[in-house]
Every structure is written in structure tokens, then in C-alpha cells.
Structure 1
Amino acid sequence: MTIPSLDLQIQTLPDKPGVYQYFDKEGKILYVGKAKNLKKRVSSYFNKIHDSGKTNVLVKKIVEIKHIVVPTETDALLLENNLIKKLQPRYNINLKDDKTYPWICIKNEPFPRIFPTRRMVKDGSEYFGPYTSFKTVNTILDLVKELYPLRTCNYDLSQANIRSGKFKVCLEYHIGNCKGPCEGYETQENYHNQVNAIREILKGNFKESLKNFKKLMNDLAMDLKFEEAQKIKDKIEVLENYQSKSTILNPKITNLDVFSIVSDEAMAYVNFLQISHGAIVRSHTMEIKKKLDETNEEILELAIVELRERFHLNAREIVVPFELDLGEKITVTVPKLGDKKQILDLSERNAKYYRLDQLKQIKIVDPDRHTNRIMAQMQKDLRLSVEPRHIECFDNSNIQGTNPVSACVVFKDGKPSKKDYRHYNIKTVEGPNDFASMEEVVYRRYKRLLDEKQSLPDLIIIDGGKGQLSSALKSLEDLGLRGKIAIIGIAKRLEEIYYPGDSVPLYLDKKSETLKIIQHLRNEAHRFGITFHRDKRSKNAIQSELELIEGIGEKTIEMLLKHFKSVKRVKEASEKEISEVVGLSKAKKISEFYKKI
């Protein structure tokens, strides 16, 4: 069967919500997406050139479009999620996770055991979870064991077996970790009351357990059983301590799921926190590799559907950082203040910390990938046409108007290239004039690079505001380089970034890697320039002291400094030692000069 042209396929798409699928000439699936309006969404791929190179490549490969119409946009989101996991298209983000998460099982038995497991058996047992790590599971089970003495054996404790005396109590009974239901020392009703209390703790509700323990403690104290009352008090303290670490919100907030996202050019990190009775009962961060230029909204929608399914989340209200359409059955809250905003901020911090940990690992294990990611991020943040692999930064130094100098530092792949650093003495400018000095140095730097046919930078950074930037731009224009090299200025006061011809500055996130690299360049240029300036002033000060001696000229000073290395040593040298370098006559003049001062 002949495949119709793309134009015809697009024209016949319905104006309905649904899911679209793109296929290449070999019939392989390339991409799955959802849409509120299939015709409009699919058309948008073909009527413009996209910012993302990957999206442009995808569009060129599309030969066939298939679609599935669904009643609502929510149905489209769910179907999209299922198709992505099932078909694993090349250009979709990967939502698959092969990891098996642990559960806490309350076994369907006359005297239920409680234990961790990775397998769910449909035998009527209850499962709580899944939890994101066994560490969390073990912490909860340690708490349960400390509060409630339950059996750990796997005997079949039917009433018939107990009555027949088939089993004997073990060491766990003798050390107080079990009350001996195997020999009938504990009733089924009492055992089930403990299991019910544990069930509430697993749900994040500590209220009933604390209430029952406090009543029991008071009853024991009234009966003068102080030792037993103290043991119950210890349990109360254990439970309250655990609760204080878990509860971070108003306990009236009983069932809430919180989702946040942080992303960069290549990756997105989605964190979720499950809240029950004001306590965090589960937390997980999902790492998603971007395939196209997906927005945070698109990624978060898919991730929420996936995480709710994977972790069996059933809260009717979810908290997110921006508006999303997840269907009528779910209330979406975007908090600005209060407890819910506090927990959303906490979720975002978890996502950020997770991202930082991953980036640190990548930096060690795969430095090239780390560099590529930063370069791509800088290109996006600074709106550049190419990645800034080669950056040069200029800074002027003239303290109290003396000895004006300038420094040029060079970064390659985001790291200092110190062998390429250059110092400049200002030659054509009289007095302290930052603008004229910048114009001179930028002209000299790139005139030389052009004359020597050396590679030009991808980005020039000027330490200063609009005035210094305009001066540097004039030099580039004189050299015919305006528009061929990207150039920006960074002002010190608010770290605002200026572009040529744009009076409105760009403000980068203060914690962004792009701004940190720019600040590193600026600080390095300042350090390098100040060091040169200080050395120059010191050299001038030394020479000016020796120049005060009548009959001692520049060549004599050079000979003295070459031999003695410093003015201090000249000053401390004897007349005989100095005469061996510059002769008796000059040695006498120098010796008499220092005797007077």
C-alpha cells in the first residue's frame, strides 16, 4: 500500500485530542506524542524550523503519521505514557525502569508476619510501598520491632496446631521479642491489635499508637507497676522521636503527592514526596534523559503519570510548581505560600541535590560528557550561535590612576588555559581612562591574532558595563570582526550581562553554572591584571629610589639589580661589594646616599 504524502496525512488529521505516532521509511517508530488538537499539534512540526537540531532531524525522517483519537487530553496523556514504555521510540524520553522496589508485607496468616520483600504474591496479604530503598524499609521495620513484639518464625500457627502443642517457644520469646503465640501465650485478638497499630504507622499515622501507649503507661503507673510503665515510656519516646523526624507539615494534611522538576540542556530530574498525616512516607528522584527540546511541563506530566503508576500513588490532590492538566479526578495545586509551598520547595531541593550528585559523578567518570553539557548549557543561556569552547576575558587595572595595565585571560572548554594569558601595558592612553584603555587592548589583541592567522575566540567577555562594551565593540568594528565574534559585558554590581545594542541586561540565575564560569573568568582576569599591576608598581618604586642618587643612571640600576637581586640587598651591601659591580666612584655615591637615609 502506497503511503500518502505528508501534506495529505496532516490535512486529514482530526481536530480532536489523541496520540500521534511518527514512523520512518522503514516503518520503525520514531516518536509518540499527545495533543489536545491532533491536527494543530502535528502541523506545528512541519511549518517551521525548530531551535533544536534533533527535532529538525526527526522531522526530516518522518514518512508516515498514525494517530489514535481519545475522549480527553487526560486519556491522551495516559495512552502516551503506555505507548512510550511499550514501544520505546528513539526520540522519546525513556521512562523505563528495570529496578524492582521493596515492599513491606503483612502476611495473610492467623498471626501475621511483617517482613520486607521484592515479590508481590496475590494470597490476600497486604503490601505497603513500594519504597525507594531497603534502607528506608529497614528503618521502619526496626521501629516496628522496637515497639511491638511480633513473631519472626514461619510456623503454621493454626488453632489446631497451637492446641496440639506442636510448637515450642524459641529464644525470641525468652529475650522478650515475641509473646509466644505458638504455645497460645498470646491471643489472636491482642496480636491483631498490634498489627492494626503497625498498619497505621506504615500509613504515617502515629496518633493512635501514641494514644494507646500513653493510656497503658498511665494504667501501669496507677497499679504501681513502675518498671513496666518505664518500658512503655521508652517506647513512647522512640515513637515520638521517629515522628518528629518524619513530620514536617501540619498533621491534618493526610494524603498528598508533591512533584517538582529541575532540568538542564541534557537531563531532567523529577522528585516526588508522598505525604501522609504531615509526614514524608516516601521520596524518589527520577532521572530523565532528554531526546528533543522537551519543556519542563511536558516532562513533568509524563513523569507524574509514570510515578503514580509505579509507586501506586492514589492521592486525589497533587502539588506541582506550575499548572498541569491531569484530568478532573485529580486536584492540581500550585502553592504560593504556606505548608504546601514549604514541602514543594523541599521537593525541589531534593531534585537539585540529586542533580548535583549526578553531575559530580559524571565530572569524575566522564569529563568529556561533563564539558559538553556545560558548553551546551552556556550556548543556550547566553543565546549564542555556537558553543563557547574558546572564551577570552579582558580587565583593566589602574590603582589611583598609576601604571595602567590590562589583562586577557583565556578559557578553553570551560577551563583556564594559562599559557594563553596575556598582559598589556597601556601605550596610547594618558591617565586613567577605562574606555579608551579597553579599546586599545582589544584592538591590539585581535589585530595580532589576525596578522598571525591564529584562531579567534567564540566569545569575548568584557569586565564592565555598557561603556566598556561599546569601546571593545568599536575595536572589533575597526578590524572587521563585528558580528563575527560574540561579545558581552558583565557589570559587577548585580552581575548583569549586556549585549551590543541592547539596553536591557540579562540576569542569569545566581547559582547557574554559566554565571559561575563567567565569574571565574572575570575573577581570573582581575587577579592576573592586579598581579601584573602590583609587580609593575613595585618595580617602578624600586627604580625611583635608586634614581634619586645623583650620577646613577638606568644602566647602572639594571646592573645593580641583576647582581644583588633587590634594592634591599644593594642597601645592605658594603662599598667594596658595590664597587666590584659598578666601580669605586659610583659605589661611593651609593654608599653615602644610604648613610644619609
Structure 2
Amino acid sequence: MDIKPFLKTLPNLPGVYRMINQAGEVIYVGKAKDLKKRVSSYFVKTIASPRTKMMVGHIDHIEITVTHSETEALILENNMIKSHMPRYNVIFRDDKSYPYIVLTGEKYPRLAFHRGAQKKGNQYFGPFPNTNAVRESIQLLQKVFKLRTCENSVFKNRSRPCLQYQIHRCTAPCVDLIREDEYKNDIKHASLFLEGKDSEVISQLTNQMNEAATSHAYEHAALYRDRIQSLRQVRTKQFVSDFSASDADIIACVEEEGEYCLNLVMIRAGRHLGDKSFFPKNATDVETQDVIETFIAQYYTNQTIPKLIVTQEHVNQSLMSEFFKLNYDIEVKVINKAIGDKRVWLTMAQKNAQIALKQKLMQSESQENRVEALKAIFNLSDSFSRIECFDISHTMGEGTVASCVVFDKGNLQNKEYRRFNIEDITPGDDYAAMREVLMRRYKKIATGEGVKPDLIFIDGGKGQLNIAIEVIQELGLSDIMLVGIAKGEGRKPGLEQLFLEGKTDPIIVKKDNVGFHLIQQIRDEAHRFAISGHRAKRAKKRITSSLEDIEGIGAQKRKNLLVYFGGIERIKNASIEEIIMVDGINKKLAEKIYDYFH
């Protein structure tokens, strides 16, 4: 591309530019207040950043889109980054949806943890930065408002109160120990509390306490008094002062050794819910301001937007506020010069980011050493990167599941993990299971689809390795290295033996070799992933078949069991002695039920 004539045609207007390589791939998307000045800056004689220099070397041509304002350019840039995922753009990726608290829409609503799609009829409160924050809040609400948390299958089959009632964490609506209107009143108070309306809840409870005392219902008055005291204690511990909005996010960013960490502190309904750290990809040689502004543009696409955002000084306050107004039609106040308590919270977020970044850098350094040591064990080239590891899990041939975990670019790549249900084999035939999973995994790669690994680990000894060698040779992928990881004497960690293609004797590596530790980590992850899939498959099959598959259990006995225990989960966890207590169940039948679930 002859760049000089092209640069002359660029306007001095705001807009978005796209760098495109010879393959037609968008490798970078950027916004500019002045397109001509910004794009021209990439083609000066001396480019300080090695990353930018490398990117410019791959540019085949440039496309631009003019916008009305810099804010419109920011919105368009964000949409294009999400669409193209350019390799040189700063990318924030958070694959997990945030957890919420839900009050379900049944006659007696259930208090529960929720993650995922939201259904009509339910009330959702959040998001929370992590699962611990949700579970702590649920425990608090149980203690103060005594709401049920049990599944509907358990709730509908109770004949007596459960342990939650005994420890004063539930009012037992399942067996009608509380009136519907009283329970709904508790739900109303819990909802107000989650919305941050603590004072309104305390005011209502105070009125109810006074009414109960006037009517000489002193026990009820004492209950209201205890709730009021609990709520006041919670508010003292969690309430955040000096904030103009009850919902706010504090965002801080730090840099060290070319790596960035951004910490997000979440305040919802006037309470501090916790924080979360983010590590952007491709953020080398960029400004802190760009990192924060990119985070804001990308993060709030699928998240609840607070009324207040507190950031560091160098963030463009007016640009961010206008971004929310134009893109979401929401008035958001962005503060970039924090004072008072806001400054204290911002400092805390910066400290959190510094700690998280130091931990990540230490882990990265350690992981690099492990990778280099692993290369030395197998004499691998410097271009080596990708490992895939396979494991088979079943119980006496039941519910066979194979797992494949991926290690690439110095880390385990969770998004690329895969499970395979193995059906059409003789139960317990691990060799047949290994053949099937490898054939299913690599037949597409043999035709040019997918990413080919440099190294494959097989959790097993010579037998499993030989099966893998046969499959890989059949598919014409003989340039992939295969290693069998056999458990050592007594199946003790550290005594594993490594079998290689073409070698009779195993490789024995010292226990303290950090490369060997990486092999163990990858193998253990494959084992964990297979086990969890197998257990879920087995549990689903058993719960689906339920008690109907147990010989000697008819309709009446099934009913007696479910009524007595309140659900299938409690039957699964019951001892033989407990099962005998059910009407119509003798010792022999109790043992049969116990053996079925264990």
C-alpha cells in the first residue's frame, strides 16, 4: 500500500479506522478525534513501541468510518472490536456471567443463588462480583428474614420442618407454620433491604413491634426487636457513606513490567459487595487512560450500569458520560477527581490491583520456568506451545465420559476443554473409549479444521498409548508427539512413569522437577474434568430413573420414601438405619436402596 497518497485523503474529523492485513483480517480497530493526525502517527520514521511496529508491518490497507463525534467513534470502535476481536486490540474477556440473588415467583417465594438467563415473575438483585458475596448475603437474609432456600421438589414433599427451621433460619412455610400473608411480608422486607431501603424496613418493623407490644403479643414484639437490631448491625458494617448514588463502581488501573491489572469495586444499594480484578489481553505499550476507557466501553455491554463511576484522574470524564448517554440512554456520572471517601475507595481499588498484578506476574514467571523444564524433558523445540491431555472416567463401566483439556500459550485454556460421552462400547473397555475419543477429536484436524497440538498426553500406560499411536497414524498426524502417563507404585503422586512412542523403558523424572509438576497439573486437570462430567452424567441417569428402577419399590413405597425424606437428594444421602424407619421398608430393601445410590 502506498501510504502517503492515502494519508493525504484522510479528513481532520472524528471516526474509526481499521487496519487490515493481506488475508483480509482486521488486526486493529481504533478511534480518533482527528483521523488524519491519528492514522498518520503510525507511519512516522521512528516508532517507539515494538508492538506497534510489528502491527504496522502487517498492514495491507486501512479503512475508515467518519462519525459525528468522538463519543460516536468510541461506540463504533467498541462494536467493531466485539465483532472482529482484532489481535492487536486491548481485549477484556470475562466469560462468566455475574451471580445474582433471586426471589422466585411462587406462592411462597424461594431465596436462591442465580447465574444465567433471568425469567419473568422472579425478582433479581445484583450483580455481585463473586459467588462468596452472594452466599454471604443469602445467609444474612436467612438469619434476619427466615426465608426458605430449599428446592421446590423438597418443599412440596415435606411432612415436618427441616433443620433450617430448628436453627431459626426458616419459618417452615412447607408445613404451614407461618401464614401466607406473614411470609409475603417477610419477602417484602427482604426485597426492600436488597434494594438498599434499610431505613424503610426498620421503620416498618418498628411499627409492627409497637403494635405487637400494645396488643400484649410480647413474643412477636421480641422477634421484631431482634430483626431491627440485626439490620442495624448489618447497616453499620456494610453501609458506604459519602456516595451520591446508592449504586456505584470504583475503577482503578495499575501497570508493572508492561502488564496491566484493572480492579473493579462494586457498591450496590449502598453496600460494598466486593471487588474483581481484570487482566486485559494485548495491552502492551498502551496508555492507562486507554485501558480504562476500553474497559468501560466493553464491560458494561452486558452488565447493570450504576449511576456513578469513580475512576483515576486521566480518564476523559465528559467522553465517558456522553458514551453512556448516547449508547444506553442512561445518565451516568463519571468522577475522575475523587475526594473524601471516594478517594479512599479508589486508593483501596489501586492497592487491590497492585496485589493482584504482582501475584499474576509471580505465577507467570513460575509457569514460564515450568514450561521450559517440560521442553527439556522431551527435547521440544522453542516453537512448541500446545498440549492436549485425555482421560477416561466411569464407575464399573457406567456413565463413561472422556475429557480433553488444553494447555496453550503458557496456561490451561478452559474455554477449549471438551467432554465426550462414550456410548457404543463394551462397558469398562478403556481402550475402546480412548480410541473413540481420539478419533472424534482429531479426524477434523486431519482434514485441516481446528488447531493441531504439538504434544498429546494420555492418562494411562503402554496399552492406552499404543491405542493413541494407532489412531494418530491412521489419521496421518504422526508428527504429533505422544506421551503416556502411567500411575506409579501404589498410585502415589510423584512416582508416575512417562512412556514415549518407540521406547520400551519409561522416562523417570525427579519429583522436584518443575516440568514434571506441570505434567502432573495438566494430567490432574484432565482427571478432574472427566470425573465431574462422569458424576453429572451418572447422577442425571440415576435421578431420571429414580426409585422406579429399584426392584421391590412400588408406587406406595416410593410415595412413603419421598414424603418421609422430602425429596430424592435426602434419600440418596440417607443411611440404611434411616431408610428402615420408612413405613413398608425392611432391612433388605433398605440395603438395596442404599446400594443403588452408592
1:124 alignment counterpart? 121
Map residues 180-219 of structure 1 onto 2, 5 A cutoff: 180-182=172-174, 186-219=178-211
- Take 2:202 and 2:240, find their aligned partners in 1: how far apart are those partners? 18
Q: Does 1:326 align with 2:320?
A: yes
8 Å CA contact 2:100, 2:126 repeated in 1: yes
The answer on whether the counterparts of 2:144 and 2:227 sit within 8 Å (CA) in structure 1 is yes
SS at match of 1:260: strand
Establish whether residue 59 from structure 1 lines up as the match of residue 51 from structure 2.
no
User: What is the rounded CA distance, in whole Å, between the counterparts of 2:297 and 2:284 in structure 1?
Assistant: 20
Amino acid at match of 1:208: E
What residue identity is the alignment partner of 2:122?
S
CA gap of 1:108–1:54, structure 2 versus 1, over 3 A, is same
Answering whether residue 276 of structure 2 is matched by residue 274 of structure 1, we say no
The answer to whether the Cα contact below 8 Å between 1:21 and 1:29 also exists between their aligned partners in 2 is yes
Structure 2 counterpart SS, 1:268: strand
Return the offset for 1:183. Answer: 6.0
Mapped pair 1:100 → 2:132: no
Structure 2 residue aligned with 1:171, among 162, 173, 187? 162
Paired residue for 1:243?
235
Shift of 1:98: 1.9
**What letter corresponds to residue 42 of structure 2 in structure 1?**
Y
Aligned to 1:147: 144
1:5 and 1:12 mapped to 2: Cα distance? 12
Contact 2:209/2:225, CA 8 A, preserved across alignment: yes
Give the drift of 1:70.
2.9
The one of 337, 342, 358 aligned to 2:360: 358
Please give the alpha-carbon distance, in whole angstroms, between the structure 2 residues aligned to 1:356 and 1:244.
Answer: 33
Q: Distance in 1 between matches of 2:186 and 2:306?
A: 26
For residues 362-511 of structure 1, the aligned pairs below 5 Å read 362-366=364-368
In the TM superposition, residue 226 of structure 1 has moved relative to its aligned partner by 5.2
- Aligned equivalent of 2:341: 339
Instruction: Evaluate the alpha carbon distance shift between residue 106 and residue 11 of structure 1 in structure 2; reply closer, same or farther with a 3 A threshold.
Output: farther
Query: Are residues 10 and 200 of structure 1, via their aligned partners in 2, closer, same or farther at CA, if it must alter by over 3 Å?
Result: farther
Q: For residue 195 of structure 2, what is the amino acid of its counterpart?
A: K
| AA partner of residue 125 (structure 2) | F
- Partner-residue secondary structure (3-state), 1:347: helix
Of structures 1 and 2, the one scoring higher in RCO (CA 8 A, sep 6+) is 2
Q: In the alignment, is the contact (CA less than 8 A) between 1:92 and 1:292 conserved in 2?
A: no
Find the partner of 1:40 among 37, 40, 52: 37
Question: What does residue 254 of structure 1 align with?
Answer: 246
Q: Deviations over 1:513-559 (max 9, x none)?
A: xxxxxxxxxxxxxxxxxxxxxxxxxxxxxxxxxxxxxxxxxxxxxxx
Q: 1:350 to 1:149 in 2, by over 3 A?
A: same
1:244-263 C-alpha deviation (Å, 9 max, x unpaired) = 33224237642322211111
Tell me the residue number matched to 2:66. 69
Specify every segment of 5 or more residues in structure 1 that has no aligned partner in the other structure, as ranges: 370-597
The amino acid that maps onto 2:299 is L
Q: What is the root-mean-square deviation of aligned Cα atoms in Å? A: 3.3
User: Deviation of residue 13 (structure 1)?
Assistant: 2.9
Residues 100 and 128 in structure 2, CA contact (< 8 A), matched pair in contact too: yes
Moved more, 246-255 or 43-52: 246-255
Q: Name the SS of the counterpart of 2:337 in structure 1.
A: coil
Equivalent residues of 2:7, 2:40 under 8 A apart? yes
CA distance in 2, matches of 1:205, 1:62: 55
Matched residue type, 1:66: E
Q: Say whether the 8 Å CA contact 2:321–2:334 is kept in structure 1.
A: no
Distance (Å, rounded) in 1 between the aligned partners of 2:282 and 2:257: 8
Determine the structure 2 residue equivalent to 1:19.
16
Structure 1 letter corresponding to 2:128:
Y
Measure how far apart 1:42 and its partner are. Answer: 0.9
- The alpha-carbon deviation at position 343 of structure 1 amounts to 2.0
Partner SS for 2:306: coil
Q: Provide the rounded CA distance (Å) in 1 between the counterparts of 2:338 and 2:269.
A: 21
Deviation at 1:302, TM superposition (A): 0.7
Cα deviation code 1:326-364 (max 9, x no counterpart)? 143333222353222222222222222222332343354
1:248-303 alpha-carbon deviations (Å, 9 max, x no partner): 42376423222111112321111122334542235222112444411001110011
1:10 pairs, out of 7, 10, 20, with 7
Counterpart AA for 1:333: I
- Conserved in 2, the CA contact under 8 Å of 1:84 and 1:95? no
Change (3 A) 1:322 1:196: farther
Secondary structure at 1:262's aligned position in 2? Answer: strand
The superposition leaves residues 417-452 of structure 1 with CA deviations (integer Å, 9 ceiling, x where unpaired) of: xxxxxxxxxxxxxxxxxxxxxxxxxxxxxxxxxxxx
CA distance in 2, matches of 1:86, 1:93: 14
Deviation at residue 185 of structure 1 after TM alignment = 5.5
When structure 1 is superposed on structure 2, of 236-245 and 135-144 the one drifting more is 236-245
Q: Does the aligned pair in 2 maintain the 1:267–1:290 contact within 8 Å?
A: no
Q: Which residue type is aligned with residue 326 of structure 1?
A: M
**Alpha-carbon distance between aligned partners in 2 of 1:190 and 1:358, rounded to the nearest angstrom:** 50
Going from structure 1 to structure 2, the CA distance change for 1:129 and 1:122 (only over 3 Å counts) comes to same
- Contact between 1:268 and 1:290, CA under 8 Å: does it hold in 2? no
Change (3 A) 1:255 1:14: same
Compute the displacement of 1:85 (Å): 2.8
Q: Is the 8 A contact 1:16 1:36 kept in 2?
A: yes
CA distance in 1, matches of 2:47, 2:77: 22
CA distance in 2, matches of 1:340, 1:299: 21
Task: Give the counterpart letter for 2:183 in structure 1.
Answer: Y
| Aligned positions, number | 361
Who wins on radius of gyration, i.e. which is larger?
1
Matched residue SS, 1:309: coil
CA distance in 2, matches of 1:179, 1:272: 37
In 1, the alpha carbon distance for the partners of 2:343 and 2:238 equals 18
- Cα distance change of structure 1 residues 222 and 352 upon mapping to structure 2, 3 Å threshold: farther
Structure 1 runs (4+) deviating above 6 angstroms are: none
Secondary structure in 2 matching 1:141: helix
The verdict on how the C-alpha distance between 1:368 and 1:186 changes in structure 2, with shifts beyond 3 A counting, is: closer
Using the aligned pairs only, state the percent identity.
29
Aligned to 2:592: none
CA spacing shift, 1:73–1:368, aligned 2, 3 Å:
farther
Give, as a single letter, the amino acid of the residue that structure 1 aligns with 2:86: P
> Cα offset for 1:157?
13
Instruction: Tell me the TM-score normalised to structure 1 length.
Output: 0.54
